[in-house]
Structure formats: C-alpha cells, structure tokens
Structure 1
Amino acid sequence: MTAQDTSLQPQFTHPKQPARMTGRQRLIMALLLTASFTLAVDFSILNVALPRIGADVGFSLEHLQWIATSFALCAAGFTLFFGRVADLFGRKRLFIAGMALLGIGSFVGGFATEPGLLLAARVAQGIATAAVTPAALSLLTTSFPEGPQRDKALGLNGSLMAAGFTAGAILGGLLTDLLSWRWAFFINIPVAVFVLVLAPKLLTESSRGTRTKLDAPGAVTVTLALLLLVFGLTTAGQKGWSDPLAWGPLAAGAVLLLVFFFIEKRTAYALVPVTILRRNNIAWGNIAGILAFATETSLVFVLTLYLQQVLGYTPLGAGLAFAVLGVGTVVGGLIAPKLIGRLGAKTTIITGLGIQAAATGSLLFINTSPASLIIVLIGTFIGGVANLAAIVGFMVTATTGLPDTEQGLATGLTTMSQQVGITMGIPAMSSIIAASLSHRTAEHSPAQVLDGVLPAIGVNAALCLVAAVLVSCFLRTPERAAV
C-alpha cells in the first residue's frame, strides 16, 4: 500500500466500535493512567532535591548524578526485554509485579540512610518503570480497539505522562521545602497500594498466543547495549563527548546492537522479530518518537539553566514556570485524538513537530530582561501542545496494524524510544552549551550563559524541523487492523 491509498484504509471510523467507553473501560483507563503518571513523576521528582539528598545520605557532589542515572539506566535498559516478557508470560502479571516492586523500592528509598541503599531503591524503581510502562501501554491498547477509543486513551496517556515530568519537578520542590525529600519516595506507596488492590479485579489477562521460549541471547545483548548507550549519553552530558567513559560505552553499545540484529535474524524465538522492524510505521514512527521526546525534554533542561542562571529564579520558581508547559501538554493530549481523526496520524505528527519547531524558534528572542519570561511561557505552552500531539500521533502510528499478541513488543519499542529520547536529548544540548562556555572563566555572567543557551535552542528547533521533514518523506500511513 502506498501513502496515497488512503481510500482503502478503515482508519478512523469502524462501524462495530461503540461510540462511548463502558464504565469498566473507564475504570481500567483510570487505573492504568494513574500508574503511568506516577512513573513519569518519578523521572524528575528528585532532581531539585539532589543537593539536600547528598548532604543527608552522604553522597559526594561528583556522585550525586548516580541518583538519577541509576534510575534512567534501568528504566531504558530493561524496557524492551520486559515488553516482550509481557507478551509471552502475561501483561497483567507483569504490571502487578512491577507496581509491587515500585512500592517496595519507594519504601526502602524513603528510609535510606546510606548511599548504597538509596541507589538500590532507585534501581528497583527503574526496573519497575521498565516493567510497568510497556505492560500498562499494552493493556491500554488491547483494552480499546483501534480507532477513536484507542486514540483517546493514548492521548490521555501521553498528556498525563508528559505532565508528570513537569509535575515531578514542581512536586519535588514543594515536598523538599515543606516536608522532606523522603516524601518524594513515600508518595508512591499509597499509589502502589491503590493499584495493587484494584488491578486484580479490573484487569484481565489478554491472549498471549502460542507461548514460545524467551530469546535469552537477544535479551541479554539488547539490554547490555541499551545500558551502555544510556550510560555513555549520560556521561557525555556531564563530562563531555571526548571522555572515554562517554564514547567508549557508546561505541560498545552500537556494536552490541549490531550483534543483536544478527542474533534476531537467526533465532526462531526472536525477542524483536526482524520483520516487525521492517514495517514502515514501526521504524519511522519510533524515530519520530525519539526525536519528539529528545527535543522537548532537553528544551526543559536548557530553559531551566536560563531561568535560574540568567533570570535568577530559584529551583522551585523555575519548576513553577514550567507549569504552563504542563498545561500545554495536557491540552495537546486532549486534542490529539481529534486531530488524528481529521488529519490522520502522519499529518498530526508533521504538523505537531512543525509547530513545535516554530514555537522553539521563537525562544531565540529571549534575553537578560525579566520580560523574556513572557516569551518563555507562550513558547513553551504552544510547543507543549504541539509536542504532545506529535507524541500521540507517534504512539498511534507505532502500535497500529499489529495483533494483540504483539502489542507488548510494540509498546516496549515505543517505551524504549521514549526513554532513549529523554536520555539522549539532555547530553546533546548540554554539550552545545558547554562548547559555548568552554573558553570563558569559571564564573559565568548571565549574558555569557545566555550566549550558550541560544545556540542550543536553535539546534533544538532545527531538530524538530528535521524530524517533521523525515516523517513527511518516509513514513507511510499505517493501515488499521480489523477489529
């Protein structure tokens, strides 16, 4: 089928699909979205509290980054593995087990008094995220048929996950200032209990097809590859791309990905069947997703530096400024299903990324004046709406045309794209800023920091535009599977 054969696609209306969700479907969606939102909050809730955590628990300044890195490594490194495990051994089981692990890890982290125990808790939270996110997404996609219902569910999921990143920064600041950073861990426990009580009653195990063996060589290889890539990207953002601990793991990870590809071609029980990667909508949909997540999350990092070091905001004040972005992402998630219904997923992705590029480009007009905050608020709101529309379009595209038995794999791939995008964007923007400041003095004036921030914003906007062009040229509109 070509991109022009749209008349053959029963894409956005299906006569057998109910117009409204049932009460049970609404409860299932609320349960799964609660879990997804909580996991998204965990990505950023500790960031503003890192200095205080280090002082209380005994982390040296140079080792503070491991509180965030240990979580990101596991969340990204194991997600593809758990996505396939969900298909083969049960999404409901994996979802419940992951939420139980999240509760245990959060309990341990909240009472940790030494670095090793705190890092163990963050590793547990990262593994729980890697297990729950693809399981929750595949339960969501298999609970709603392809069409308006699934688009709406994915739109709400995308908006709440994106809002979760922003809410985490705000909530982390509030909890740390008003109570203690330990409540950033404790807050997960009642959520985990809530989900564990309702999940066995509401969720049903989807058909898993013919159970096959798990591809152990492929699972080990791709997990090690992703761990090395995330570690290399994180190190690059902290120490620069020339550091051996940055390019060394990146090179090794790339080699392991190549090895993984050849393993998958030769095994009868492939973790990621090569045929699914040859599907145009799977490959290009996930490429669009990586770039969408990389650009928006890294822009938050760049603007955090701007707000604090140029305009002089406190960490909490900077977090509150991003509340406008959070509202924009929620709006984007709500309108995305309607845009997809009218324009199609491909056009929604292109439009979203194009508007995001323009909104990000408008930030090139910021300066050292406090009035620039108005530009930041307007630009991030519009960019947030557009980015979420593109993300929902990517999620719909990358999970369309597949049977239920492969939805765990598809959502595992989309989750991996999300984690890799979040991880790779910040080091890239950080290196651009560092290059601009490398010849300056150790103490940087607001004007000097601004000179480093503006090129990063320009590159970010250009990446959005490049992503839109790539999708326009290479993505073919996927065909809906029959309901």
Structure 2
Amino acid sequence: MVTESKRWLALALLCLTGFMIILDASIVLVAIPSIERELTFSIGGVQWVPSGYALMFGGLLLLGGRISDLLGRRRVFIAGLLLFAGSSLLCGFAWSGDALVFARGLQGIAAAVLAPSALSIVMTTFPSGPDRNKALGIWGATSGVGGTAGSLIGGPVTDGLGWQWIFFINVPACVVVAVLAPLLLLDSRGPGRRGFDVAGAATVTAALIALVYAVIQAPSSSVVRTVLWLLMSAVLFAVFVVVEQRSAAPLVPLRLFRSRALVGGNLITIGWGLAAFGLNFVYTQYAQLALGASAVRYGLMSAVLAAAAVGGSMIGQHLVTRVGPRAVAFVSLLVAGAGTTLMTRLTVTSGYFELAFWGLTIFGAGLGAGTVAGSIASLSEVAGEDAGVASGLQNASFQIGGAVGIAVVAAVAAASTSGRTPVALTHGYRIAFVTVWSFIVIGLAGCLFVKRPLEIQRGKSGHMKAVVAARRPS
C-alpha cells in the first residue's frame, strides 16, 4: 500500500525528471553560439544540436509510450534515465559537431522514453479525482518552470563553466532519481498484449529527418538536390500512412483524424511549435552574434518570454472555459503575430526595452494562452480509450514543429545574409522573424477546423484541467 507521503515524494522525483527533459530542450539555445565557435560544423550544421533532440523526442514519443506500457513503466523509466545520463556525458565530451549531434539524438530518444513513462506513473500513482488533478497541475507547472530556467541557468553555466556543463548537470540528477526510483515509484503495465509499431516509428522519424535536412541544406545545395530530399520525405510519409493502415497496433490510429477538433488542435499546436522554437532560435543568434550580448545577458533578456507564457497560460485556461478554444487560439495567434512584427523591426542599435522586451512579452503571452487552447481543442472530442495516444500526438506535434521551425528560420536567415558583420547578420535575422508569421498562419488555419465552442461545466472540468496542466508551454 502506498502511503500519502510516499506518493508526493514520488511526484517530486517524477517532476525533477520532467523539469530536466524540458530544460534540455531550452537550455541548449543559450549555448548555441558558444558551441558553434568551439566545434566544427558544416554550413547550417549547428541547427541539428537543438533540432536533433526535438526530432527524436517528437518522432519516437508515441513508441516510447507504447514500450513503457508493455514492458513496465518503472523499468523503462529507469532505463531511460540511464540512457539520458550516458548521452549527456557524450554531449559534454563531444569532440566534434557530428559527435555532439549524435549524442543529442540519443538524448532525444531517452526523452521519448522518459516523458511518457513518467507521466504514466503519475497517472497510476494518483487515483482519479482532486489529488490527480493537483499532481498533474504540479507536473505541468514544473515543465513551465523548466522552460524559463533554460534561459536563466544556461547563461551563467555557459559563461562561467563552459557549454559542456549544460549537459554534465544532468548526470547527478539522473543518478539520484535512478537510485530512488525503485524505492518510491510503483511499477505497472498497460492493458493488452499489443506489439510495437517499430516500422511506423522508423518511417515517420526518417521522413522528418529528411524534411529537416532538405530545409537546412537548401541555402547551400542545388535546387535539384533539395527537391530530391523533399520527395524522399514525402515518400516516407506516404509509407508511414500505409504502415499505420496495416499495423495491428498502429502508433497513431488513422481514424483519430476524422475528428475535426483533433486535426485543428494539432495544426494549432504545430504552428505554435514552429513559431516558438523558430523565434527563440533567431533571437538567440541576434542577441549574441549581432548585439554581442553575453550568454548571461541573453538569458536574462529572453526569460521574459517564458514568464509571459506562464502568465498567458493561466489567462488562457480561464478564458477557454467561457468562450471556447477557437476564439482563444485565434486571438492569441494574432497577439503573438503582433509581438513577431515588433521583432522584425530590430536593428543593431535597438535598445532592449525599445523593441525586444515588448516583442518577447507580447509573443509569450499569446504563446501561453494559445497552446492551452490548442491542447484542449485537440483532446475535446477524443474517446477515453484514445486519450493517451491523442495526448502523445499533441505533444509530439509541438516538438516536431519546433525542430522544423528552427530549420526553416535558420535556412532563411542564412540565405538572406551576405556577410558576418552585425548589420548583415541583423538583416538576415529580420527576414527570419518575418518567416515566423507563416507559422502563425498555419495555426490560424487550424482554428477553422475547431468550429464549436467547448463548453466545460464547472462540475465536469476536472479532465480539462488535467489536460491543461499536462501541457504547459515550454
């Protein structure tokens, strides 16, 4: 029998893991300029450091959830911790750009196993009701803090100890959690004896890698080569659909896409992933390479975005129960667009409070409210037996959108830059900020699918509060 105090200690352990996973997605952005200076990368190759993690994380997230359900959630959780610790060591000791990208891919695989197993253990540790909703709220808030902490922790660590330590700090945390996990965490398995859809996971991940590679190499490759990579990606996506149609245990049952709300909610989420990661990546480059800001100063400058996102998510949760997710998502996307527009006006002489502070604050507020609306919309028409896969799909959409968003804005910036002077770099970054508007348009298109306002009665709001808590913006 699990005591009450043991439950909450288990939650603390799981939240530390969730914090670490989100932190690793955001903290690396602060260190990108330092990493690029010290390691050898091909043209545009440094983009794979954040994108490789996000691609493997998003592409294998659903498979990771299936593995934890079938093999035992605690066992898979501990194995994921050990892989995360080992890959973090490889990242810190990376001797070249290729070695770092490889290690970041391993980190993404570990995160794809850790995240769903940790959340599943939270769900099985706390019975349905107020305690579970409270636990999910703490889990979601911890993830939000992880996104903010990436900017605040990454700067001092990178400037004071070196970029390697943004990876080394994961190791002691993983060891502590792995030692305590058998003592505090319950083990459980999902129902049934369904198999693993390895073919589906492999084809969709390969399709995404081909797509990102085509975008990253576009500025320095011939049109023919770029088109061939895009065609390869399209073929692999088509193969994925065929695999899912024939699989006895598909990663994503295609019948889910009959729900307009699910399609619209995931389009909104993809739009936010594209925009949030893309804008963050460009702003990192602008602040540190064009303005010459230190990693510490950049961290302080960008933290306002994450803080505004947390505030926006609280407001969005309040509004969506009254006016529905479509209206909240639509307005929040336009708000983020206004913030993006301010960012397109940045110059090498722009003062931080003149444009960037307000641009990041406005964008962050829209991001927080909009991701809440997108997550609720995508799950509003999903049956209980499909809730797990639909939630995993929605989280994967955000991560995959982020990987593609970074690739697109980086390619646009590279193609629009004629030199390495601050003025030339800023010109390219301004064009890249304009590109973020195209991502926002994708989210606006998703709003068209969400036709009916979602009415959440006060007495039946527990599930939606859990959905909101489990998907705080990072």
Tell which deviates more after alignment, 424-433 or 153-162.
Answer: 153-162
User: What is the CA–CA distance in structure 2 between the aligned matches of 1:465 and 1:220, rounded to whole Å?
Assistant: 30
- For residue 464 of structure 1, what is the aligned residue in structure 2? 440
- Give the superposition deviation at 1:127: 0.9
Among 184, 188, 192, which residue is 2:174 paired with?
A: 192
Contact 1:366 1:372 in 2 (8 A): no
RMSD: 3.7
User: What is the CA–CA distance in structure 1 between the aligned matches of 2:35 and 2:434, rounded to whole Å?
Assistant: 34
Among 377, 387, 391, which residue is 2:371 paired with?
A: 391
**TM-aligned CA distance change 1:268 to 1:467, over 3 Å:** same
**Is the aligned partner of 1:360 residue 2:320?**
no
- For residue 208 of structure 1, what is the aligned residue in structure 2? 190
Task: Show the 5 A alignment for 1:389-468.
Answer: 389-400=369-380, 402=382, 406-437=386-417, 440=418, 442-446=419-423, 448-461=424-437, 463-465=439-441, 467-468=443-444
SS of residue matched to 1:322: helix
- Give the superposition deviation at 1:290: 0.7
- Give the superposition deviation at 1:376: 1.1
- Give the superposition deviation at 1:251: 2.2
- For residue 100 of structure 1, what is the aligned residue in structure 2? 82
Structure 1, unpaired ranges of 5+:
1-21
Among 164, 167, 171, which residue is 2:149 paired with?
A: 167
- For residue 318 of structure 1, what is the aligned residue in structure 2? 298
- For residue 340 of structure 1, what is the aligned residue in structure 2? 320
User: What is the CA–CA distance in structure 2 between the aligned matches of 1:117 and 1:459, rounded to whole Å?
Assistant: 30
Contact 1:137 1:411 in 2 (8 A): no
**Is the aligned partner of 1:40 residue 2:44?**
no
**TM-aligned CA distance change 1:460 to 1:173, over 3 Å:** same
- Give the superposition deviation at 1:160: 4.7
- For residue 11 of structure 1, what is the aligned residue in structure 2? none
Tell me which amino acid in the other structure corresponds to 2:200.
Answer: G
User: What is the CA–CA distance in structure 2 between the aligned matches of 1:115 and 1:466, rounded to whole Å?
Assistant: 32
User: What is the CA–CA distance in structure 2 between the aligned matches of 1:359 and 1:50, rounded to whole Å?
Assistant: 23
User: What is the CA–CA distance in structure 2 between the aligned matches of 1:243 and 1:159, rounded to whole Å?
Assistant: 46
User: What is the CA–CA distance in structure 1 between the aligned matches of 2:163 and 2:453, rounded to whole Å?
Assistant: 46
User: What is the CA–CA distance in structure 2 between the aligned matches of 1:155 and 1:360, rounded to whole Å?
Assistant: 30
User: What is the CA–CA distance in structure 2 between the aligned matches of 1:274 and 1:182, rounded to whole Å?
Assistant: 42
Contact 1:328 1:381 in 2 (8 A): yes
Tell me which amino acid in the other structure corresponds to 1:376.
Answer: A
- Give the superposition deviation at 1:305: 3.5
Task: Show the 5 A alignment for 1:21-420.
Answer: 27=9, 29-49=11-31, 59=40, 67-68=49-50, 70-111=52-93, 118=100, 121-139=103-121, 160-161=142-143, 164-165=146-147, 167-205=149-187, 208-236=190-218, 239=220, 242=223, 244=225, 246-371=226-351, 373-400=353-380, 402=382, 406-420=386-400
User: What is the CA–CA distance in structure 1 between the aligned matches of 2:323 and 2:415, rounded to whole Å?
Assistant: 41
Tell which deviates more after alignment, 266-275 or 103-112.
Answer: 103-112
**TM-aligned CA distance change 1:146 to 1:429, over 3 Å:** farther
- For residue 19 of structure 1, what is the aligned residue in structure 2? none
Tell me which amino acid in the other structure corresponds to 2:173.
Answer: V
- Give the superposition deviation at 1:431: 3.5
Tell me which amino acid in the other structure corresponds to 2:239.
Answer: V
Tell which deviates more after alignment, 283-292 or 116-125.
Answer: 116-125
**TM-aligned CA distance change 1:414 to 1:318, over 3 Å:** same
SS of residue matched to 1:369: coil
User: What is the CA–CA distance in structure 2 between the aligned matches of 1:340 and 1:207, rounded to whole Å?
Assistant: 34
**TM-aligned CA distance change 1:209 to 1:71, over 3 Å:** same
Contact 1:86 1:135 in 2 (8 A): yes
Tell me which amino acid in the other structure corresponds to 2:14.
Answer: L
User: What is the CA–CA distance in structure 2 between the aligned matches of 1:454 and 1:142, rounded to whole Å?
Assistant: 47
- Give the superposition deviation at 1:288: 0.8
- Give the superposition deviation at 1:217: 3.3
User: What is the CA–CA distance in structure 1 between the aligned matches of 2:351 and 2:185, rounded to whole Å?
Assistant: 50
User: What is the CA–CA distance in structure 1 between the aligned matches of 2:96 and 2:414, rounded to whole Å?
Assistant: 32
User: What is the CA–CA distance in structure 2 between the aligned matches of 1:60 and 1:347, rounded to whole Å?
Assistant: 44
Contact 1:357 1:465 in 2 (8 A): no
User: What is the CA–CA distance in structure 1 between the aligned matches of 2:135 and 2:369, rounded to whole Å?
Assistant: 13
- Give the superposition deviation at 1:292: 0.7
TM-score between the two structures when normalised by the length of structure 2: 0.80
User: What is the CA–CA distance in structure 2 between the aligned matches of 1:142 and 1:339, rounded to whole Å?
Assistant: 30
- Give the superposition deviation at 1:478: 6.4
User: What is the CA–CA distance in structure 1 between the aligned matches of 2:52 and 2:143, rounded to whole Å?
Assistant: 20
Q: Deviations over 1:172-223 (max 9, x none)?
A: 3322321233322221123223433444455445662222222343333233
Contact 1:155 1:333 in 2 (8 A): no
**TM-aligned CA distance change 1:65 to 1:469, over 3 Å:** closer
User: What is the CA–CA distance in structure 2 between the aligned matches of 1:333 and 1:152, rounded to whole Å?
Assistant: 16
**TM-aligned CA distance change 1:454 to 1:183, over 3 Å:** closer
**TM-aligned CA distance change 1:416 to 1:355, over 3 Å:** same
- For residue 4 of structure 1, what is the aligned residue in structure 2? none
Tell me which amino acid in the other structure corresponds to 2:197.
Answer: D
